[in-house]
Amino acid sequence: MSTQQEQPQEPESQEAPEDPEMRGTESPQQERLKEKEQGLAQEEAVDESDLEGETVHLKVFRYDPEVEGKQEPRFDDFYVPFEKGMTVLDAVMYARDEFDSSLTFRHSCRQAVCGSDAFFVNGKQQLGCKTQISELKQPVRIEPLPHQEVVKDLVVDMDHFYDQMHAVEPYFQQEELPDGDLEEQRQSRENREKVKMSTRCIWCAACMSSCNIAAGDNEYLGPAAINKAYRFAMDEREDEEIKEHRLRIVEQEHGVWRCQTQFSCTEVCPKDIPLTEHIQELKREAVKKNLKFW
């Protein structure tokens, strides 16, 4: 069962995807802040001071296969007192602790590193803990990630996502290591910088959920897994041979060539990883290596 519903508001038409080579001239911080400003404009954010002392209206998706009354998916309304700095996660925790202890969602670190709480908030995949209530239109509609089986309320089955992550051999494979237990492999600062963004993935599955291709092709590796492959394929500490092996994995029928550069994964990534660019780069590498073309 999926909860993909008609989106309450269409996202602004994206800018046409630029040549990926042309992007990235600004620091990630600047880019992120800029995107955030744009996001604010889109949402017609409410001024925080207007919300002081107010309640926030949440519409939360509910479903439980074994509880009568919840077997048919429905939305429950919760009215939560607003506090400055309140996030979507804070709001659903309040609703659970004060109103309905059966309200179910994953969460742990509260600081955007455990990747547990990606939800579909007002029609966009976002981490609950990283999304300010004051930046959202009300009522705030909170649903589980689309295109994944719902286990209960906001909890989705992650097994397929994990399977895809594991399918790219997501571990360092370098047999030849420097002699001596205390001798490290050398890596240039440039190379570390090159893989840096790709290593930030927190496995939240927001990207996979946002991807139309993944929705239509269950075998598609998906942006997160391909990014994981990129993280190793671009790491100069691994041999060329392994790199070629990795490229073979991602250029298979359900790999990089499925990507149609819609940028939806890049758009929703809470860690600002340039996923689409990474996929594009792997395509180019595969062509360079003369690997089979699907």
Partner 1 sequence: MYEHDVIVVGAGGAGLRAAIAAHEAGADTAIVSKLHPVRSHTGAAEGGINAALREGDDWELHAYDTMKGSDYLADAPAAETLAQDAPEETIQLEHWGMPFSREDDGRVSQRPFGGLSFPRTTYAGAETGHHLLHVMYEQVVKRGIQVYDEWYVMNLVTDDAADPNDRECHGVVAYDVQSGNVEGFKANGGVILATGGPGQAFDHTTNAVSCTGDGHAMAYRAGAPLEDMEFIQFHPTSLPSTGVLISEGVRGEGGILYNAKGERFMFEYGYANNSGELASRDVVARAELTEVNEGRGVNDEYVHLDMRHLGEERILDRLENILHLAEDFEGVDGLVEPMPVKPGQHYAMGGIDVDENGQTCINGLYAAGESACVSVHGGNRLGGNALPELIVFGKRAGRHAAGDDLGTAEIETGYGPDVEDETETELPVQPGSAGLDTAGGVAADGSGVATETDGLIERAVEAERTRVDHLMDKDDGVQHAQIRAKLQKAMTDYVNVFRTDEGIRKALRVIRECREEYQDVYVDDPSRTFNTDLQQTYETRNLIDVAETIALGALVRNEFRGAHWRQENQERDDENWLKHTLISWEDGDPNIFYRPVILEGEKTYEPKVRSY
Nearest Cα to 250, choosing from 161, 159, 164? 164
Is residue 166 at the binding interface for partner 1, with CB under 8 A as the rule?
yes
In whole angstroms, the minimum distance from the beta carbon of 180 to partner 1 comes to 9
Of 70 and 248, which has the nearer Cβ to partner 1? Answer: 70
The residue type at 1: M
Distance from C-alpha of 44 to C-alpha of 95, rounded to nearest angstrom: 25
Q: Which region among 37-45, 230-238, 250-258, 274-282 touches partner 1 (by CB under 8 A)?
A: 230-238
In whole angstroms, the minimum distance from the beta carbon of 257 to partner 1 comes to 25
Number of residues that bind partner 1 (CB under 8 A): 63
- Which one among 3, 5, 199, 252 touches partner 1, defined by CB under 8 A? 199
Q: Which region among 50-58, 155-163, 246-254, 261-269 touches partner 1 (by CB under 8 A)?
A: 155-163
Q: Which region among 14-22, 112-120, 213-221, 242-250 touches partner 1 (by CB under 8 A)?
A: 112-120
DSSP letter for each residue of the chain: -------SSPPPPPPPPPPGGG---S-HHHHHHHHHHHHHHHHTPPPHHHHTT-EEEEEEEE--TTSTTTSS-EEEEEEEE--TT-BHHHHHHHHHHHT-TT------SSSSSS---EEEETTEEEEGGG-BGGGSPSSEEEEPPTTS-EEETTEE--HHHHHHHHHT--S-------SSTTPPPP--HHHHHHHHGGGG-----HHHHH-HHHHH-TT---HHHHHHHHHHHT-TTS-HHHHHHHHHHHTSTTSGGG-----HHHHH-TT---HHHHHHHHHHHHHHTT----
Element (H, E) at 196: helix 189-196
Of 28 and 123, which has the nearer Cβ to partner 1? Answer: 28
Of 143 and 238, which has the nearer Cβ to partner 1? Answer: 238
Is residue 115 at the binding interface for partner 1, with CB under 8 A as the rule?
yes
Residues 245-274 that bind partner 1 (CB under 8 A): none
- Which one among 184, 240, 288, 290 touches partner 1, defined by CB under 8 A? 184
Of 100 and 217, which has the nearer Cβ to partner 1? Answer: 100
Is residue 237 at the binding interface for partner 1, with CB under 8 A as the rule?
yes
In whole angstroms, the minimum distance from the beta carbon of 204 to partner 1 comes to 10
Is residue 33 at the binding interface for partner 1, with CB under 8 A as the rule?
yes
Residues 80-109 that bind partner 1 (CB under 8 A): 84-85, 96-98, 100-102, 104-109
Of 185 and 260, which has the nearer Cβ to partner 1? Answer: 185
Element (H, E) at 192: helix 189-196
Question: Rule CB under 8 A: which residues touch partner 1?
Answer: 27-29, 32-33, 64-67, 70, 84-85, 96-98, 100-102, 104-116, 130, 151-152, 155, 158, 162, 166, 170-172, 174, 177, 181-189, 192, 195-196, 199-200, 202-203, 232, 235, 237-238
